[in-house]
Chains A and B, each alone.
Chain A
Amino acid sequence: MTDSKRQIAGAAAGLGLAVGGLVLGLRAHRRRQGSDRAPGYTARHVHGPLDIAGRSVTIRRPRNELYAFWRSFPNLVDVMENVERIVVKDDDGKRSVWTIKAPGGTTVDVETEVVEDTQDERIAWRSVEGSDIETQGEVSFADAPGDRGTRVTLVVAYDPPGGKAGKAIAKLFMREPQVQARHDLKRFKMLMETGEIATSASRKENTRAAEKEKAA
């Protein structure tokens, strides 16, 4: 991958779309040893070549509803700010092409395939072989205690483009995967719990959704 491609890929790293040669499966990043049972992505230091972005939200809706929304990938365009379009390529909805915003008003296409799909529990995906951008991610759904709904956890692995400096730049434009994942999950929660995505715009043309449509 060339440097410029790496930068585009890095800046475009939205939810579940990240860069790099993914060698380690995400599960290897869950801690299984020692006295610490915290999620691997909360570690102070990254072990291995990849950065891990992860985030949990609790959503006051049933598990099956959240799973169903997510599994129908084109729905995610409404909550993922950097994703312009998602087109499903096969009948069982396992392969899809994601069109993602990149710097300079350009876009980049990534084809992904679902590698694990357990109904109402977990969806894992990765980019298909030969893709310019390689990505791997999973979202899991677990019952929250009492009537609190569902705990949704998203984890993606990525190779920070341009090292720490590149990561800082991506962060500045809020395209850094950890920031982007956080915002996208919040919008997912809003849509599921309230039926709409909060905006402080007083007029339709000033919402971020309208600006996104205009740019597309």
Chain B
Amino acid sequence: MKALTWHGTKDVRVESVPDPEIVNPRDAIVEVTATAICGSDLHLYDGVIPGMKAGDVLGHEFMGVVVDTGSKSTLKKGQRVVVPFTISCGGCFHCAVQQYSACENSNPAEKQDMSATLYGHPMSGLFGYSHLTGGYSGGQAEYVRVPFSDVGPIAVPDHLEDEKVLFLSDILPTGWMAAENAQIQPDDTVAVWGCGPVGLFAIQSAIVMGAAKVIAIDHYPHRLELARELGAETIDFRSTDVREALLEMSGGIGVDAVIDAVGMEAHGFAVDNMLDIAKQTVGIGADRARVIKQALLAVRPGGRVSIPGVYGGMTDKFPLGALMEKGLQVRSGQTHVQKYTGELLDKIEDGTLDTTFLISHRLPLEQAADGYRNFKEQQDTWTKVVLKPGMEH
């Protein structure tokens, strides 16, 4: 089959790899009909995530048709499904309490040590990402092996086209959980840093949850325009003092909740090196952690802090005092996708949530490498790339 494979920094290629097959009883094989490039795929493209191997198949946002099932899969051949990017077993303690992205059993035993050393506990398995999270082959391919297929994939009705439901795999639940983690109340003013796909979905979710005002912060004009179309007020941080503006726009109180949908590219994973690298790169590190620092200072006392943006390492000069003295609540984490897919599918179906506004480009799988380059280099206009195996060139 054809698949987008990783070979090094800014080196991804579409090439032929062996077809996947059923390996474990609960597996299914999905023939991919649509898959997207995620902002977090750019971390791999930029070579800043460790634990990658040449030839790894990328992609964690995908959907398609079930073409084969293991003896204990509950899926049926021919079913259309969207597959969550988090691989979750359904049988462990964390799955039982719906903390699916903390699944204890989906990351192979011998691959759990690295993240356990970094974070104190291992991460769960993820599709199409680093071997830190299992090294599972991803969805930017014609076929994918889907483990625990009785827990993750959600069947979608035929009348909803791929582009309406594809983002149930990651960014829609991620934006929704970001808003949920901000514990939005009806009279709230909410500030969202970053108008990429997750930020835009967080804005849309916050409005659905009843926020009185959402303020979006970015510097790309087109992305800010999309935020305005959703109903947000916008701040271009290049031309405005963000903290001053947020204080004024919230009547001097400060915003009730803040959402950091920017994150920071991880800067070094080997635990020995982490502190040194952080010190060596303090200029860059300080810039990159600026969003969460700014958010902590901007939020009102007693306010809420939600962090869907990806962080991987450590940071210096963290305003811990603001966190304590203002009595803030912080919630974060990889998305518990399986917890949200059913509810969000309903909201897509009844028109409460729209996902298609985000898509700027559609390409055949064969042109995936171009997609990566443009998504990286032309962020203003390339807001979301959907790849379609079998699409006419």
Contacts and interface: CB of A to CB of B under 8 A. Distances in A.
A196 B151 CA distance: 14
A72 to B, nearest CB: 21
A203 B91 contact: no
Nearest to A188: B109
B48 interface: no
Interface stretch (B132-140, B282-290, B313-321): B132-140
Interface in A153-199: 174, 179, 182-184, 186-187, 189-190, 193-199
Contact of B110 (A174, A193, A201, A203): A174
Contacts of B137: 200, 202
A64 interface: no
Contact of B91 (A60, A174, A202): A60
Interface string B14-51: 00001011011110000000000000000000000000
B24 A199 contact: yes
Nearest to B110: A183
B125 interface: yes
A200 B110 contact: no
Interface string A42-73: 00000000000000001010000000000000
B21 A203 contact: yes
Contacts of A202: 18, 20-21, 23, 137, 145
B195 to A, nearest CB: 34
A194 B89 CA distance: 6
Main secondary structure of the interface of B (DSSP, over half): loop
B112 interface: yes
A197 B21 CA distance: 16
Interface residues of A, number: 28
A208 to B, nearest CB: 7
B104 interface: yes
Interface residues of B, number: 33
B72 interface: yes
Contact of B92 (A60, A187, A199, A207): A60
Contact of B147 (A187, A189, A198, A208): A198
Nearest to A179: B113
A180 B372 CA distance: 40
Nearest to A207: B23
A187 B106 CA distance: 11
A27 B112 CA distance: 30
Given A203-B18, A203-B23, A198 B92 contact: no
Most buried by B among A81, A194, A197: A194
A184 B137 CA distance: 24
Given A204-B21, A204-B23, A199 B108 contact: yes
A148 interface: yes
Contacts of A204: 21, 23
Contacts of B105: 189-190, 193-194, 198
A36 B23 CA distance: 46
A196 to B, nearest CB: 4
Interface string B349-386: 00000000000000000000000000000000000000
Q: Which 10 A-B pairs have the closest CB atoms?
A: A186-B109, A202-B20, A193-B91, A196-B24, A183-B109, A200-B136, A194-B89, A190-B105, A200-B135, A200-B134
24 contacts: A60-B92, A81-B110, A149-B93, A186-B109, A189-B92, A190-B89, A190-B109, A194-B92, A196-B24, A196-B25, A198-B24, A198-B89, A199-B24, A199-B108, A200-B108, A200-B111, A200-B131, A200-B135, A201-B23, A202-B21, A202-B23, A203-B21, A203-B23, A208-B110
Interface of B: 18, 20-21, 23-26, 72, 89-93, 96, 104-113, 125, 131, 134-137, 145, 147-148
